[in-house]
Structure 1
Amino acid sequence: MNYTTQMDAARKGLITDEMKIVSKKENIDVNVLRSLIAEGKIAIPANKNHKNLNPEGIGEGLRTKINVNLGISKDCYNIDAEMEKVKKALELKAEAIMDLSSYGKTEEFRRKLVETSTAMIGTVPIYDAVGFYDKELKDISEKEFLDVIEKHAKDGVDFMTIHAGINKSTAERFKKNKRLTHIVSRGGSLVFAWMELNGKENPFYEYYDDILDICEKYDVTISLGDACRPGSIHDSTDASQIEELIVLGELTKRAWEKNVQVMIEGPGHMALNEIAGNMMLEKRLCHGAPFYVLGPIVTDIAPGYDHITSAIGGAIAASNGADFLCYVTPAEHLRLPNLDDMKEGIIATRIAAHAADIAKGIKGARDWDNEMSKARADLDWNKMFELAIDPEKAKKYREESMPEHEDSCTMCGKMCSMRNMKKILNGEDINILRD
């Protein structure tokens, strides 16, 4: 029996190769997985043209996944440097990479990325349109926007951010409810500007069915962009954000009618006490579709440290139902991240995702922590390094300050609780002051 997309296969009762791989990775019964894909509660972004993809599932009951943003820009045009970031992202076990390229030979970089990456690849086609056509934004036609989407799909992109929720009604709501930071989504601001400059409906909303046809043809997962996500804690959970979320819920159902897989993108900047409520709203209004969040960034005063503000929000968001975390680096709001920034962002986001998986009760999530705790109790340093989320940094810290006695560290020395409890429980003298 033939199928067009993972959702189509699931609804026909078929088990795809991608489902088998995800089932094994997640230790979940493949028929349970298939059923959740059929309902839209899990997506497996897997473009038919991404031949070396190592597929991942995103959604209910699965491990929280993380995404890494990278790409070339006019101010930092260096394809080789971005490919180094790709290699590092794969090495650090990111499940997804988004190409946010907005200048120059984006097609060359995108194709190279798809060819290289075993992780799923996402893009935001509107970023590419201006450079691809070498036109001012207002002069790009509706058909030209759709042609870029098809080009990305044909190149093997697994998921695409499409800002279809900011239609004329949402835009009017935004204008009537003033914000401190306006529209901070880059794609959202471009769509809003195009609408205002041309006096027309959002082409991604007006021609949404045509976009779905493209996604179905290549099995591209549509990631419904949050054009009205809050860019400050002042603007979170306001009328614009919620109206757009309602529209995204409607667009989700339309996508599922064509067997197109969907993810919903979410905030943004948001105070701690609003996060759980926002996760519940998304799941209710968007019918349980997987939720993909940036952060949330929980305070606006920490430029240079936004990988931390984001990890705090991400852990809370994922423990309350978010399924996919977009990393944030220390360079957020400041500049294009370099390789070190990217590593810091990935590690912080992976910690947040894992902490949330423990809270969500994901099967096997605690096993890693229990192994680390046993290695600590045994003072097995090599095992601790092996289990560390960043072994390189753990080894470096240890080697920079070696203790006099191997069974301790330079913080506690022979007063180390692990050392002394091990000795006492083995019937030995702890000899703190004697050699």
Structure 2
Amino acid sequence: MNYTTQMDAAKKGIFTKQMEEVVKNEAISKEKLIQKIAEGKIVIPANKNHKNLIGIGVGEGLKTKVNVNIGVSEDEYSEIKELKKVEKALEYKADAIMDLSIFGDTKKFRKKLIETSPIMIGTVPMYDAVAKYGKNIKDMTVDDLFEVVEEHCQDGVDFITVHAGFNRISAERLDNNKRLTHVVSRGGSILYQWMKLNNKENPFYEYYDRLLEICKKYDVTLSLGDGLRPGSIKDSTDPSQIQELLFLGELTKRAWEENVQVMIEGPGHIPLHEIVTNMQIEKKLCHGAPFYVLGPVVTDIAPGYDHITAAIGGAIAASNGADFLCYVTPAEHLRLPDIDDMKEGLIATRIAAHAADIAKGIKGAKDWDNAMSKARGELNWAKMFDLAIDKEKAIEYRKSSMPENDEVCTMCGDMCPIKRIKEVE
């Protein structure tokens, strides 16, 4: 039986190769997975042209997934450095990589990335449209934008971020409700500028059916972008953010009618006490579609430490319904992350995701923790290192300060409670 997309297959009861790979790595049955994909509550981003892809599911009842951003810029142009980040992202078990390149031969780099990566790849075609055509924003045509979308999909990108809900009504809501940080989304700011300069509707909203046809053709998951995400905790959960979310909910249903898989992108900067509310609003307004959040960052005062502010928010968000966390690095708001920043951000976000999976009751999530606790209780250092989320760092810390008795550590030394209890036993 033929199918166009993973959602189409699920609705027809077809169990695809990618679904089989998800079932192998998740505590979910074949029947339940098919049901939730058909309902839109789980997506498997899997472009037909991404030949070495291993299927990864995102959504309700699955482990929380983590995305890493990479990409070359004009001021920091090095494809070699970015490909090394890809190697590190794979080594440290990212679930997805987004290529946000805005300079150079972006197509060549994107194709190399897709050939290299067995995990899902995402892009923001709007960025590439600016880089590719080199036109003033005002002069970009509707065809320019859609040609870049199709090129990314044809190249094998598994999900694309498109800010289709940031339309003229959303822009008017923004103009009438002044913000501290206005628009902080790159894609959102480009579309805002285009709409204002041309006095026209957002092409991705006006010609949404054209976008869906492209996504359906290649089985690309549509990640509906949050062009009006708050860039400061003062701007969180404001009329502009909610207005856009209302449109994203409507666009989600239209995509499902065409069997196009959808994720919803979310905030942003959100104070701790508003995170649960934001998760509930998204799930309600967007009909249970998977939620992909940036952070959220819970305070604005910590440049250099935003991997921590985001991990705090990410753990709370994911334990209350978010399905996919975009990592934030210590370099956020400051510069393009280097490979060390990338590692710090990825590990912090993976910790947040795992902590959330324990809270959500994901089957088997605690097994890793229990194994580590058992190794600690036995003072089995080799096993502890093998189980550590960052084995290199754990070994480095241990070696930097060794006790006389190598059974213990220099924190407690001979007063180690575990050692003393073992002696009694």
TM-score grouping bracket, smaller chain normalisation = over 0.9
CA radius of gyration, larger in: 1
In structure 2, the partner of 1:341 is: 341
In structure 2, the partner of 1:400 is: 400
Map 1:349-360; keep pairs closer than 5 Å: 349-360=349-360
* Alignment pair present for 1:272 and 2:272: yes
* Cα distance in 1 for residues equivalent to 2:26 and 2:233: 35
In structure 1, the partner of 2:286 is: 286
In structure 2, the partner of 1:423 is: 423
Map 1:105-184; keep pairs closer than 5 Å: 105-184=105-184
Matched residue of 2:56: which SS?
coil
Of stretches 177-186 and 415-424 in structure 1, the one that deviates more from structure 2 is: 415-424
Map 1:188-267; keep pairs closer than 5 Å: 188-267=188-267
In structure 2, the partner of 1:431 is: none
Letter in 1 for 2:202: N
* Alignment pair present for 1:303 and 2:303: yes
Matched residue of 1:331: which SS?
coil
Shift of the alpha carbon at 1:420?
1.1
* Cα distance in 1 for residues equivalent to 2:423 and 2:365: 30
In structure 1, the partner of 2:414 is: 414
Matched residue of 2:67: which SS?
strand
Moved over 3 A (4+): none
* Cα distance in 2 for residues equivalent to 1:79 and 1:136: 26
In structure 1, the partner of 2:49 is: 49
Shift of the alpha carbon at 1:242?
0.3
Matched residue of 1:69: which SS?
strand
TM-score, normalised to structure 1, is: 0.97
* Cα distance in 2 for residues equivalent to 1:144 and 1:138: 12
Letter in 2 for 1:46: A
Task: Please give the root-mean-square deviation of Cα atoms over the aligned residues, in Å.
Answer: 0.5
* Cα distance in 1 for residues equivalent to 2:28 and 2:230: 35
* Cα distance in 2 for residues equivalent to 1:228 and 1:134: 25
Matched residue of 1:325: which SS?
strand
Shift of the alpha carbon at 1:27?
2.6
Matched residue of 1:67: which SS?
strand
* Cα distance in 2 for residues equivalent to 1:89 and 1:333: 21
- 2:27–2:362 contact (8 Å) kept in structure 1: no
In structure 2, the partner of 1:12 is: 12
- 2:130–2:137 contact (8 Å) kept in structure 1: yes
* Cα distance in 1 for residues equivalent to 2:321 and 2:398: 37
Shift of the alpha carbon at 1:160?
0.3
* Cα distance in 1 for residues equivalent to 2:194 and 2:421: 67
* Cα distance in 2 for residues equivalent to 1:104 and 1:363: 45
* Cα distance in 1 for residues equivalent to 2:126 and 2:326: 19
What's the CA shift string for 1:119-148, capped at 9, x where partnerless? 100000000001111211111101110010
* Alignment pair present for 1:90 and 2:80: no
Matched residue of 1:73: which SS?
coil
* Cα distance in 1 for residues equivalent to 2:406 and 2:209: 65
* Alignment pair present for 1:78 and 2:78: yes
What's the CA shift string for 1:325-383, capped at 9, x where partnerless? 00000000000000000000000000000000000000100000000000000000000
* Alignment pair present for 1:64 and 2:61: no
